[in-house]
Structures are given as structure tokens and as C-alpha cells.
């Protein structure tokens, strides 16, 4: 009989949480414009809005904070971070940023050379798509169709459709394509990993046409774990070795370090060896982020990130972290709640198109389920569907997402499996009564990234 493995850490400090009464939750949600983003944190019992910057840092990271060198220029903490990031990626140039959006806003404008250039991806996340469009580019997705079949098992639903990708390049011509972005894991597809074979094939296609490849590396360590567990030939390789190979098939990366950097704030840009691009990024960083050796971060932030990048590559940590997500997913799956299967790395994605077929896409079925789950259990999920996708920048029409997901995003090293059981109970109860849910319409709609600050009202 094999011995069960527990979490590879013990709890040293706790933070109290409180479930406010149902009538207070109903009032709070109405005042928030039926948008969980606008809820106060103390109105939330279990917060699954995001895994970005919401994790718990380790004792080693808290200790590292005390070593922070707050020099404006040439900080010792910057060079420590530089050494760690170079060792993991093999890249010559590393630039810090305050978070992933900061990294994108100094990288993408230097890659998109002219208005209308295409940026190709497996499935761009919302903020990446927004930064592409702000820089004058056009984001196009080439996720494999298997991602849209949420029921059937496939180990790598984040893969590109390579045939469609190359066909598009031939039709639109390489000179009109700024770059290809490989998002690992692929958040919008359900936190799904991309296989090493697929990443390598994308790079081969890009090289044939002289196109730059970038990696959205927010969850690269989780993707490396899935490759080790699911892809033949990698079972005996370390997470670090797999991560290094992933980075070898790209020319640069942007990273929100608030995920696989295990910090509450931080980001990185990496450039393999293009000195001209590095110089341009570094120059733009000064007015946008800060001096090149701090990039919007304190010295203590960089020290904590240097430690977190190393900890995120530990197999035991990844096995425990992804295992907790699988535990929640398995409970929902066993209860007949439709989810993206298999479960991805950082979240369980509930298929709300199946739960609420009576709510049309432009009344946001996944938002309806998110709000119901908050009312049911004080749990704050987030919508990943047509509400998030927004409008066509040219026609202004609502875009219909191929997937209407409620994302139950699990912060790293924060909750226990008992919390997962409470979450499962609430979601199962909502799914059983989903025919009673109604859609939503706008009371206020921002022009960019609308789902963050929009206000809604129930459709009558």
C-alpha cells in the first residue's frame, strides 16, 4: 500500500474569513452591479476570482523581503533576480515589470511594427488581447478544436491547430504578422496545457516564415508539470529541464510573476538574444514602468520573486497545487456538473453553456452562474466567456465566445481541501437549479476590458 502524500508545507499563520448572511450577500451583489469584481473582499467567504497575486508566500520569501536593496539604480536585488531568471530560461536579457500587464505594455508596442499587424496565438487572454489592440495589432486565435469539446479527455487542449496557423500565415503574408504568442498554460481554454511537440512545431513554422515567437509565461511551471506527467519522453526529466526546453522554442516572453513566480506583485520580460529589441523595451520601460534595474518593483519584491521562481519549479509543490485543483474538479465531475475535462492547472472551468442553455451568449450565462454561486455560498468566481471577450473593435458588435466558462480559480498555498468541498457543494446546488437563472444586460459598459468594471442588471 502506497503512502499518501500531504501538502509539502505546514501552516504557520492563518487569516480569518467570514461568511456574511445570504440577505447581505444579495444586497452586496446588487450594489456591485452584479459584477463580482466590485464586491469588497470582506463580503467574500472563499475568493476564487483569480490566482494572480493571491497566493501565500513561503517563509523563505518573507525572509528574502528583509534582504531587499532599495537602491534606485543598480540594486543588488535586481542582479539576484536577473541571475535566477537567466538560469531558468537561458535568456540573455531580463527586464522586470510591476506585473504581466506592465510586461506586455513595454514588449508588444516594440513587436507590433505597423497598425493592423496580426498577433497569432493559441487563445489570447483578455489583457493580452487588449494590449495587442492598444498597440495597433489584431489578435487572432488558433486553438485546436479539441479545446471546445469540454466533455472528452485530451491531455493537451491548449495546443495550436498547426494547419490553420500555417494556412493563415500563407494567406496574410509573413510581413503582416508581428509575432506568435504561445500561452502556457492556456487560460481561456480552461487552463489547458500545451504539449512540447506542439510548441516545437509552432517554432518550426515561425522559423520557416521569419516570424518571432513569444511565450506568455504566467503559468509555465504548471505547463511543464503537465508535460512531465502526460507527454511521452519527459517522465524522467526535471521540471527545470522541461521549462528550459519550453523557453528554447521562443525568442522572448512576457510573464505575470504573480502566478508561477509565487509573489503578490511582479512581472518579467525576457529576450533571448535580440539586443535591438532589448534596447527598445528597456527604453520604453523608463517612462512606463521605472528605471531598468527596478521596473516598477521594490528591491524586496525582487528578492521574494527570485525565491518564488525557484520554489515554483519544485515537483512536490506542483503536484500538491495541481492535485488540489484536480480534487475540486473530480468532485464536480462526479456530481454531473459539466466542466472542461481534464482539469487544467490553476482552476476548474465550469461549462455554463451546458448549465444554462436558455440564456443567450449576449446575456452572459457564465456571469449568471458566477453570481448565483456567490449568493449560494459567498464564493467569488469569475466569468471567462462572452462578457470577458467584449466587442468586435471594428463593428462594435458583441463577440460570441465559443466557451462560456465560470472559472473557479485556486490561489496557491492558500486554501485546504475542506474549502474545495465547500466550493463543490455550492456549485452543485446552483447547477441543480440552473433553469431558474436569468441573464444580464449592461447598466454601464466600459470600452476596454469591460468585465472588470461594468455594471449589470438582470434581464426582465
Q: Within 10 A of 394 (CB to CB), how many other CB atoms are there?
A: 7
Average pLDDT of the residues of the chain: 97
For residues 126 and 448, the answer to whether their CB atoms sit within 8 Å is no
Helix (H/G/I), strand (E/B), else coil: 263:
coil
- For residue range 43-93, what is the model confidence (pLDDT) as tens digits? 999 999 999 999 999 999 999 999 999 999 999 999 999 999 999 999 999
Categorize the per-residue pLDDT at 4 as very low, low, confident or very high, splitting at 50, 70 and 90. Answer: confident
In the chain, % of residues over pLDDT 90: 95
* pLDDT tens figures, 5-17: 889 999 999 999 9
For the segment 105-132, the average pLDDT, to the nearest whole number, is: 95
pLDDT at 394 over 90: no
Percent of the chain at pLDDT > 70 equals 100
* Residue 388 to residues 52, 292, 394, 397, Cα–Cα distance (Å): 17, 33, 17, 14
> Rounded to whole angstroms, how far apart are CA atoms 347 and 410?
6
CATH number for the region 59-311 comes to 3.40.640.10
Residues of the chain with CATH 3.90.1150.10: 22-51+314-458
Residues 312-338: pLDDT tens digits? 999 999 999 999 999 999 999 999 999
CA angle 192, 197, 201 (to 5 degrees): 105
pLDDT at 256: 97
Q: What is the DSSP letter of 391?
A: B
Task: Kindly state the greatest CA–CA separation across the chain.
Answer: 62
Element housing 177 (H / E):
strand 177-183
Among 324, 329, 326, smallest CA distance to 424 is for 329
How far apart are the two ends of the chain, measured CA to CA in Å? 58
Question: Residue 147 pLDDT more than 80?
Answer: yes
pLDDT of residue 3 exceeding 80, the answer is no
CATH 3.40.640.10 in the chain: give the residue spans. Answer: 59-311
Burial of residue 206, with CB atoms counted within 10 A of its CB: 0-12 exposed, 13-18 middle, 19 or more buried: buried
Q: What is the pLDDT of residue 448?
A: 84
Evaluate if residue 447 carries a pLDDT over 90. Answer: no
pLDDT over 80 at 406, yes or no = yes
Q: For residue range 242-297, what is the model confidence (pLDDT) as tens digits?
A: 999 999 999 999 999 999 999 999 999 999 999 999 999 999 999 999 999 999 99
C-alpha cell at 271: 529576450
Q: Which CATH class is domain 22-51+314-458?
A: alpha beta
Rg (CA), the chain: 21
pLDDT band at 1 (very low <50, low <70, confident <90, very high): low
- Residues tagged active-site: 72, 125-126, 216, 218, 259, 451
Query: pTM here?
Result: 0.96
Q: What is the 8-class DSSP label of residue 2?
A: P
Beta bridge partners of 268: 96, 255
Cβ neighbors of 349 (< 8 A, separation 6 or more) are: 150, 190, 191, 339, 340, 384, 403, 405, 406, 407, 408
User: How many CB atoms are closer than 10 A to CB 436?
Assistant: 9
Q: Count Cβ atoms below 10 Å from residue 154 Cβ, excluding itself.
A: 15
Residue 300 has a pLDDT of: 98
The alpha-helical segments, DSSP class H, found in 289-364 are 299-311, 315-334, 352-355
Residue 392 has pLDDT above 90, yes or no: no
Is the pLDDT assigned to residue 149 strictly greater than 80? yes
Amino acid at each position: 500500500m502506497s503512502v499518501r502524500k500531504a501538502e509539502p508545507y505546514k501552516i504557520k499563520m492563518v487569516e480569518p474569513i467570514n461568511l456574511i448572511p445570504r440577505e447581505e450577500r444579495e444586497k452586496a451583489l446588487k450594489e456591485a452591479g452584479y459584477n463580482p469584481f466590485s464586491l469588497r473582499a470582506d463580503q467574500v467567504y472563499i475568493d476564487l476570482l483569480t490566482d494572480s497575486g493571491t497566493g501565500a508566500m513561503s517563509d523563505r520569501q518573507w525572509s528574502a523581503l528583509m534582504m531587499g536593496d532599495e537602491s534606485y539604480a543598480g540594486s543588488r536585488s535586481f542582479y539576484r533576480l536577473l541571475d535566477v531568471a537567466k538560469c531558468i530560461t537561458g535568456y540573455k536579457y531580463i527586464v522586470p515589470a510591476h506585473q504581466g500587464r506592465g510586461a506586455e505594455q513595454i514588449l508588444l508596442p516594440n513587436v507590433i511594427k505597423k497598425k493592423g499587424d496580426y498577433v497569432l496565438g493559441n487563445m489570447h487572454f483578455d489583457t493580452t488581447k487588449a494590449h495587442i489592440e492598444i498597440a495597433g495589432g489584431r489578435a487572432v486565435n488558433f486553438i485546436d478544436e479539441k479545446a471546445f469539446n469540454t466533455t472528452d479527455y485530451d491531455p493537451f487542449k491548449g495546443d495550436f491547430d498547426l494547419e490553420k496557423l500555417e494556412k493563415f500565415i500563407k494567406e496574410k503574408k509573413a510581413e503582416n504578422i508581428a509575432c506568435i504568442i504561445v500561452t502556457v498554460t492556456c487560460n481561456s481554454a480552461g487552463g489547458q496545457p500545451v504539449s512540447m511537440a506542439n510548441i516545437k512545431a509552432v517554432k518550426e513554422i515561425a522559423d520557416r516564415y521569419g516570424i518571432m515567437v513569444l511565450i506568455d509565461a504566467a503559468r509555465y511551471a504548471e505547463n511543464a508539470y503537465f508535460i512531465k506527467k502526460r507527454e511521452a519522453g519527459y517522465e524522467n526529466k526535471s521540471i527545470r529541464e522541461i521549462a528550459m526546453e519550453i523557453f528554447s522554442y521562443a525568442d522572448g516572453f512576457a510573464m505575470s510573476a504573480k502566478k508561477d513566480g509565487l509573489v503578490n506583485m511582479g512581472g518579467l520580460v525576457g529576450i533571448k538574444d535580440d539586443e535591438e529589441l532589448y534596447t527598445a523595451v528597456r527604453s520604453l520601460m523608463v517612462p512606463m514602468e521605472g528605471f531598468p534595474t527596478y521596473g516598477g518593483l521594490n528591491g524586496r519584491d525582487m528578492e521574494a520573486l527570485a525565491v518564488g521562481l525557484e520554489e515554483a519549479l519544485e515537483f512536490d509543490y506542483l503536484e500538491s497545487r495541481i492535485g488540489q485543483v484536480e480534487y475540486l474538479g473530480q468532485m464536480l465531475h462526479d456530481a454531473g456538473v459539466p466542466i472542461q475535462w481534464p482539469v487544467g492547472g490553476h482552476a476548474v472551468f465550469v461549462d455554463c453553456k451546458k448549465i444554462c442553455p436558455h440564456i443567450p451568449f449576449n446575456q452572459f450565462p457564465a456571469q449568471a452562474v458566477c453570481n448565483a454561486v456567490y449568493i449560494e455560498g459567498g464564493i467569488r468566481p469569475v466569468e471567462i466567456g462572452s462578457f470577458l471577450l467584449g466587442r468586435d473593435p471594428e463593428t462594435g458588435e458583441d463577440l460570441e465566445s465559443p466557451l462560456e466558462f465560470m472559472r473557479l480559480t485556486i490561489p496557491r498555498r492558500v486554501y485546504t481541501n475542506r474549502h474545495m468541498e465547500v466550493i463543490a457543494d455550492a456549485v452543485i446546488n446552483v447547477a441543480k437549479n440552473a433553469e431558474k437563472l436569468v441573464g444580464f444586460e449592461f447598466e454601464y459598459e466600459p470600452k476596454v476590458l469591460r468585465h472588470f468594471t461594468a455594471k449589470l442588471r438582470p434581464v426582465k
